[in-house]
Amino acid sequence: MSKIKCQCGHENPFGTVLCEQCGRPQTDEARESKLIDMRYEGSARRSQTYKRSIVDKIWNFFSSVKVGINIIIAVLVTSAIGTIFPQKLFVPATTEADIFAYYEKHYGFAGTLYYKLGFYDMYNSWWFIILIGMLGTSIIIASVDRVIPLYKSLKKQRTKRHTSFLKKQRIYAEGVVADSNSSFDKAEEKLKELRYNVKIEEGALLAEKGRFSRWGPYVNHTGLIIFLFAVLLRTLPGFYVDETVWLREGETRAIPGAPGYYLKNNDFIIETYSKEEDAAFGQAIDRVGTIVKNFQSDVTLFKDPEGGLPGQSEQMEFVKDYSITVNNPLNFDGFNVYQMDYRLNELKSMTFQLMEKTTDKSFGEFTVDLLNPERLYELNEGAIVELLEFYPDFDGVEDGEPVTKSPIPNNPAFIFNMVTTAKPEGEKSFVAIRQTLETNVNDYEVKFVSAETRDITGLVVRKDKTLYLLLLGGIIFMIGVAQGSYWNHRRIWIQKGDGNELVLAGHTNKNWFSLKKELDKVKLYADLPQYEDRQETKFDDDGKKGDKS
Amino acid sequence: MQLASLSGNLLYFSFVAYLVATLFFGGAVKGAKTQESYKNNRWRKIAISITIIGFITHLGYFITRWIASAHAPVSNMFEFITAFAMMVVGAFILLFFLYRTPSLGLFALPLAVVMIGYASMFPRELTPLIPALQTHWLTIHVITAAMGEAILAISAVAGLVFLLKNIDLTKRSKQRFWLESVMFTLILVVGFILSSSTFAIMGYEAKFTYINKNEQTAQIVYNYPPLFGMNEYESLTPDKMTPLAEMPPIVNAKTLTTFVWSVATGIVLYLLLRLILRRPIAALFQPFAKKANSEVMDEIGYRSVLIGFPVFTLGALVFAMIWAHEAWSRFWGWDPKEVWALITWLFYAAYLHLRLSRGWEGEKSAWLAVIGFIIIMFNLIAVNLIIAGLHSYA
């Protein structure tokens, strides 16, 4: 494509609206309009210039701010729909059938529809992920399409602009002053005092400040892209560990996802607020009942010794003791271990005694460890109790056989064989909580004495290699958004005309109010012609004009 | 305890100060015959002085309560909303000194008054922190987020003034309908405050047992005459009103009762006002907006979004993610509250991008600012009380 040669002699890239150097309008539309469109300095943007090939069309689609806004709105609406009913991950069900049943039961027809449309797992759905992908594409293309030409034309702008450029600015003044040279010099002085960068060329002045705020949007978009890229990385294996581990008090286990490391739960603690110690909260405690003060797991971290064989627990090396609480995870080697859940009073062991029914004579007590039960228990006078079968989570009898629901001792049941000198073959007995069953009438029985319980802590193990990248994206975004929001790019042009005539124009990318305040100061000091804001009466016609403060 | 009651009194004082300041701002706007007097009159000076005094006592409330409870008073609905109201006033003072428009105060201060009133309907006693809240991130995250939201709220106030000034209320139109709806919503909030405090002063209490959705027996105390009963309710206070209808277990009938009472009170109040005024409520406020300059209001609206958006992002998303990572092991979990913070952020991002295209200034932009505030309020009220809670009317 050919270049556009401006009257001032500068060659502009094809598609330029305002000459990069002198600002003369290059298109008929710009020449005819009363105010020129200063967005992106009237530079040649790819999307506005090339519209033929398929690549151009894709580029133009994603570079459009309107398309970008529509994508934002689409993400917004889908996100909102996702909060109408709880998402799948908050539903206490695991199989698809159970999940469906949950929505149907709790939310009726609307719930069924919600499930069928896939809204119950909105944020992992293909269309949501595609939307986010489109958003990312739009951010990249729209930024590149604008930032390069904007950078070039701000870099190439000349101090002296053509009058047709100044005349079409929103803030404009022309007029004869008492002494244009003195006004010009005083304006320079005052503008410098207001921290403008002032450049002078052939009786023309350009005062500029805050140009770097123009890069704010592109900086924050870069931050967003880094953030989205980090989120994308998390889907790759190895970047991300997320495991749950349940640890009983006194138990040591290998930490899932962190090979070579072991964790021992020394103690799990729950504390609640008490009216005595926390008197200020007395009223609240009365109203609510119990309020938890602390969930805490006191743990010890071990690891395999250097060069040792993994899994040989006797040789574990002590690393550290730590108290994990809700806001204080345990940190080691890039891993974090969080306090997430707990179960109180799980049965640990049960103590029984062997008795002769008729005489109530005891042969002594024995204790069954409910996680690793021993098979034989030797008692007084040569009596032996043999544990034949153990059902940790007894759930009734199926096909004549007792069954267990899980390996967790929620409802333990036992089949014992009681061997005594009087009955050397032994007597069998089925013992569960509050029941004893015998096939034949026995002479002896195993009687429950006591049970010991302990707490279990639920910990989550996480490692996330993308965290620093996410944080970097966030920081860059914040820098960019502050840069673009809290600074303004202001430019003031003053040019000498014939005799004592002065021409003045001003432009800012936003916050016109402050630009005008600064201009007022310069005008007062340097005796400049009164400027006019050609958009001030944009909303109010003269009949209902309000304060001009 | 001494400190806690001092704190309460300071808040009460601020509440009254804002009310009085509103009247003076009204005087400043109404009394201004000329441009000059609108900008610089005694009423305005008195009004802003009272506002600042109110803000200082409000800050006093905040600090004394902080000392009394030994944590930043932003840990429950009452504390958060009063802090939010304080920041709205703070943001207004900031923008007032930038633009010096009394019309803004005339609408921003009543908003703060209604918010404090609304907050007072929640339990006000000092509450201890549950383990998840015991961290300095509570202070950092909540205060920054509230500050961002407060500045964004000023944008909605400016938008409202713009709309009141520029919408023709003498003719039937879509704009008039929606503007009146905004007014109606505000009256509903007043209806809630009125009905709730009336029954609170009467000391109304009705106790029930019921079967909850986990099929367990539970107890509940109503502070309103029970229009709706919980699932399989049984009254423990038979001398009180019997519910008119029983609700299924997933509906929280107590919340529903409160909601219906508030709406009913609001509607009665609205109809009464309409009967007395014989014109839309918006028309009552319109004369006070007429003297504002639309251009300035539009600029305040845009500027406050520009100032508030980065603060909101930092507080409600960045700090929130860091805290979520510390406490819950993930920086993002698609929890409804998180999602609605994201929605708010996306909405204002769309607002800022729309300002780039021609035509999205003035009225359209003012509507967006009002909608933005509604989203913020939705996240504060509905997500807390309905979605995250019991899905009562979902």
DSSP string, B92-134: HHHHHHHH--HHHHHHHHHHHHHHHHHHTTS--S--PPPGGG-
Among A154, A180, A195, which residue terminates a domain?
A: A154
Residue B130 is nearest to which of A291, A482, A511, comparing CB atoms? Answer: A291
- Strands (E) located in A360-513: 361-369, 376-378, 384-391, 394-398, 401-404, 413-419, 427-432, 435-437, 444-464, 490-496, 501-508
Residue B300: the pLDDT is 93
Nearest Cα residue in chain A from B134? A327
The string of pLDDT tens digits covering residues A295-333 is 999 999 998 887 666 555 567 889 999 999 988 999 998
Find where tokens 């009317």 sit: B393
Residues A368 and A291 in one domain: no
- Strands (E) located in A31-133: none
Q: SS3 for B380?
A: helix
Between A177 and A310, residue with greater pLDDT: A177
CB contact under 8 A, A82 and B302: no
A431 located within any domain: yes
* Chain B residue numbers touching A536 (CB-CB < 8 A): 295
Residues A28 and A66 in one domain: no
A186 located within any domain: yes
Residue A547: the pLDDT is 41
Is residue B340 within 8 A of residue B312, CB to CB? The reply is no
A222 located within any domain: no
> Which amino acid is present at A152?
K
Structurally, chain A folds into a number of domains equal to 5
Distance from CA of B307 to the nearest CA of A (A): 7
Residue A308: the pLDDT is 64
Residue A549 is nearest to which of B101, B328, B394, comparing CB atoms? Answer: B101
Residue B394: the pLDDT is 24
Ranked by mean pLDDT, the top range of A58-62, A96-100, B60-64 is B60-64
Residue B388: the pLDDT is 45
Residues A69 and A37 in one domain: no
Q: Which of B40, B296, B364 to mutate to test the interface with A (most CBs of A within 10 A)?
A: B296
A307 φ/ψ angles, rounded to the nearest 5 degrees: 75, -5
Between B32 and B381, residue with greater pLDDT: B381
Is residue A319 within 8 A of residue A448, CB to CB? The reply is no
Residues A462 and A449 in one domain: no
The string of pLDDT tens digits covering residues B369-385 is 999 999 999 888 777 66
Residues A518 and A437 in one domain: no
Copy the structure tokens of residue A406. 């899980």
Residues A544 and A467 in one domain: no
At residue B124, does pLDDT exceed 50?
yes
Residues A430 and A385 in one domain: yes
B174-202 vs B281-290: helix crossing angle, rounded to 10: 110
Distance from CA of A13 to the nearest CA of B (A): 24
User: What is the Cβ-side half-sphere exposure of residue A39, based on CA atoms within 13 angstroms?
Assistant: 11
Copy the structure tokens of residue A173. 């003044």
Copy the structure tokens of residue A177. 């002053």
Q: SS3 for A338?
A: strand
Is residue B75 within 8 A of residue B124, CB to CB? The reply is no
Residue B247: the pLDDT is 81
Residue A240: the pLDDT is 81
* Chain B residue numbers touching A281 (CB-CB < 8 A): 69, 125-128
What is each CA distance from A372 to A349, A474, B193, in whole angstroms?
A: 10, 50, 61
The string of pLDDT tens digits covering residues B136-166 is 999 999 999 999 999 999 999 999 999 999 9
- Restricting to B residues 20-59, those with a Cβ less than 8 Å away from any Cβ of A are 35, 38-39
CB contact under 8 A, B329 and A338: yes
CB contact under 8 A, A486 and B310: yes
At residue A91, does pLDDT exceed 90?
no
CB contact under 8 A, A474 and B321: yes
Domain region containing A26: 1-44
At residue B19, does pLDDT exceed 90?
yes
Q: What is the mean pLDDT of chain A?
A: 87
A480 located within any domain: no
DSSP class of residue A323 equals E
- Restricting to A residues 314-353, those with a Cβ less than 8 Å away from any Cβ of B are 325-327, 329, 336, 338, 340
pTM to 2 decimals?
0.88
Residue B346 is nearest to which of A72, A294, A482, comparing CB atoms? Answer: A72
- Restricting to A residues 119-158, those with a Cβ less than 8 Å away from any Cβ of B are 123
| Interface membership of B190 toward A (CB under 8 Å) | no
* Chain A residue numbers touching B128 (CB-CB < 8 A): 273, 278, 281, 284-285, 291, 293
Residue A202: the pLDDT is 85
Question: Please, which pLDDT band fits residue B35 given cuts at 50, 70 and 90?
Answer: low
Query: Which are the contacts of A124, defined by CB distance < 8 A and separation ≥ 6?
Result: none
CB contact under 8 A, B329 and A106: no
Q: SS3 for A275?
A: coil
Give me the sheet containing A261-272, strands edge to edge: A252-254, A261-272, A292-303, A317-325
The C-alpha angle with vertex A110 and arms to A105 and A115, in degrees rounded to 5, equals: 75
Residues A359 and A425 in one domain: yes
DSSP string, A478-507: HHHHHHHHH---EEEEEEE-STTEEEEEEE
Q: SS3 for B83?
A: helix
Residues A426 and A493 in one domain: no
* Chain B residue numbers touching A111 (CB-CB < 8 A): none
A162 located within any domain: no
Calculate the CA B75 to chain-centre distance.
Answer: 16
CB contact under 8 A, B354 and A69: yes
Q: Average pLDDT for residues A15-32, to the nearest whole number?
A: 86
| Interface membership of A283 toward B (CB under 8 Å) | yes
CA A297/CA A247 separation, integer angstroms: 10
Residue A512: the pLDDT is 87
Residues A446 and A411 in one domain: yes
* Chain A residue numbers touching B48 (CB-CB < 8 A): none
Percent of chain B past pLDDT 70, that is, above it, reads 94
- Restricting to B residues 327-366, those with a Cβ less than 8 Å away from any Cβ of A are 327-331, 334, 336, 339-340, 342-343, 346-347, 349-350, 353-354, 356-357, 361-363
| Interface membership of A540 toward B (CB under 8 Å) | yes
Q: What is the mean pLDDT of chain B?
A: 87
Residue B358: the pLDDT is 67
Q: SS3 for B304?
A: helix
Copy the structure tokens of residue A103. 């929505």
CB contact under 8 A, B123 and A284: yes
A230 located within any domain: no
The string of pLDDT tens digits covering residues B246-277 is 887 777 788 888 888 889 999 999 999 999 98
The string of pLDDT tens digits covering residues A472-519 is 999 999 999 999 999 999 999 999 988 889 999 999 988 888 899 999
CB contact under 8 A, B294 and A546: yes
Residues A191 and A105 in one domain: no
At residue A196, does pLDDT exceed 70?
yes
CA A324/CA B135 separation, integer angstroms: 14
Is residue A255 within 8 A of residue A337, CB to CB? The reply is yes
Between A104 and B84, residue with greater pLDDT: B84
Q: What is the CATH number of the domain that holds A503?
A: 3.30.310.80
The string of pLDDT tens digits covering residues B102-111 is 889 999 999 9
The string of pLDDT tens digits covering residues A512-545 is 888 999 999 999 999 899 998 887 666 665 444 4
Between B23 and B34, residue with greater pLDDT: B23
At residue B281, does pLDDT exceed 60?
yes
Among A128, A154, A180, which residue terminates a domain?
A: A154
Q: SS3 for A255?
A: coil
A166 located within any domain: no
What is each CA distance from B7 to A517, A537, B17, B69, in whole angstroms?
A: 41, 47, 15, 11
Residue A549: the pLDDT is 37
Residue B371: the pLDDT is 95
Per-residue burial over B131-155, b = 16 or more CB atoms within 10 Å of its CB, e = otherwise = bebbbebbbbbbbbbbbbbbbbbbb
Q: Which of B94, B295, B309, B357 to mutate to test the interface with A (most CBs of A within 10 A)?
A: B295
Q: Average pLDDT for residues B321-325, to the nearest whole number?
A: 91
CB contact under 8 A, B357 and A486: no
CA A472/CA A222 separation, integer angstroms: 10
Size of interface A-B (CB pairs under 8 A): 186
Find where tokens 């398929």 sit: A54
At residue A278, does pLDDT exceed 90?
no
Q: Average pLDDT for residues B346-359, to the nearest whole number?
A: 87
At residue B34, does pLDDT exceed 90?
no
Copy the structure tokens of residue B341. 């913070």
Is residue B391 within 8 A of residue B250, CB to CB? The reply is yes
| Interface membership of B66 toward A (CB under 8 Å) | no
| Interface membership of B318 toward A (CB under 8 Å) | yes
Q: SS3 for A440?
A: coil
DSSP class of residue A119 equals G
The string of pLDDT tens digits covering residues B159-199 is 999 999 998 888 888 999 999 999 998 898 888 888 888 88
CB contact under 8 A, B131 and A294: yes
* Chain A residue numbers touching B342 (CB-CB < 8 A): 79
- Restricting to B residues 228-287, those with a Cβ less than 8 Å away from any Cβ of A are 250
Element containing residue A104 per DSSP (H, E): helix A96-116
CA B247/CA B245 separation, integer angstroms: 7
The string of pLDDT tens digits covering residues B285-299 is 888 888 888 888 999
| Interface membership of A358 toward B (CB under 8 Å) | no
Residue A22: the pLDDT is 87
A215 located within any domain: no
Residue A42: the pLDDT is 83
Ranked by mean pLDDT, the top range of A396-410, A457-471, B356-370 is A457-471
- Interface confidence, given as ipTM, is 0.88
Residues A21 and A100 in one domain: no
Percent of chain B past pLDDT 90, that is, above it, reads 44
